[in-house]
C-alpha cells in the first residue's frame, strides 16, 4: 500500500501579504514569493512543514474554527520535537500564545496553542515518551 508522507493544508485569508509576513516574522516560516495576478497565493515553509494560503478574489474567507466551535478552536495541528523551546522562541517573537505548553493526558503529549494574524489557532504538539 502507498504511504502518504505529508499534508499541506490550503487556508483562505483576507490579506495574503499580511499573512505571509506574519508567518515569516513572528512564526519563523519562510516563503520565496507571493504568486498570482493579482498576488493571491503563497506557500510558507518551516522545516518539513508547508502551509498554503490563498486570498479569494471575491468574498471573505471562512471564519476560524474557534468562532464556530469555541470548545475546540484549533485550525491546524503541527507536530514538533521540542514544544518548550518553540514556546520560548515564539514568546521572543511576540507571538499570541493562548495556552501552554500544556501536558494533555488524553494523548500523552504537550501542546502549545498560538493564534495567527488571521485569528486561526495553531496547535504545536510534542508527543510524550
pLDDT, residue 101, reads: 95
Going from the N-terminus, what domains does the chain have, and what CATH number goes with each? Answer: 10-54 (3.10.180.10), 65-127 (3.10.180.10)
**Any bridge partners for residue 124, and if so which?**
78, 112
CB 39 within 8 A of CB 49: no
- The ranges of the chain with pLDDT < 70 are none
pLDDT score recorded for residue 60: 79
CA torsion 27→111→96→82, rounded to 10°? -40
> What is the rounded (10 degree) CA torsion for 79, 96, 98, 129?
30
> Which helix or strand (DSSP H or E) is residue 10 part of?
strand 10-12
| pLDDT number for residue 62 | 82
Amino acid at each position: 500500500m502507498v504511504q502518504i508522507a505529508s499534508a499541506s493544508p490550503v487556508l483562505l485569508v483576507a490579506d495574503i501579504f499580511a499573512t505571509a509576513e506574519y508567518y515569516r516574522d513572528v512564526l519563523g516560516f519562510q516563503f520565496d514569493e507571493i504568486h498570482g495576478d493579482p498576488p493571491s497565493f503563497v506557500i510558507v515553509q518551516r522545516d518539513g512543514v508547508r502551509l498554503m494560503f490563498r486570498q479569494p478574489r471575491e468574498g471573505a474567507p471562512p471564519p476560524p474554527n474557534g468562532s464556530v466551535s469555541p470548545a475546540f478552536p484549533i485550525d491546524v495541528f503541527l507536530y514538533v520535537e521540542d514544544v518548550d523551546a518553540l514556546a520560548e522562541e515564539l514568546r521572543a517573537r511576540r507571538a499570541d500564545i493562548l495556552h501552554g505548553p500544556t501536558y494533555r493526558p488524553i494523548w500523552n503529549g504537550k501542546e502549545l496553542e498560538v493564534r495567527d494574524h488571521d485569528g486561526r489557532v495553531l496547535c504545536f504538539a510534542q508527543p510524550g515518551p
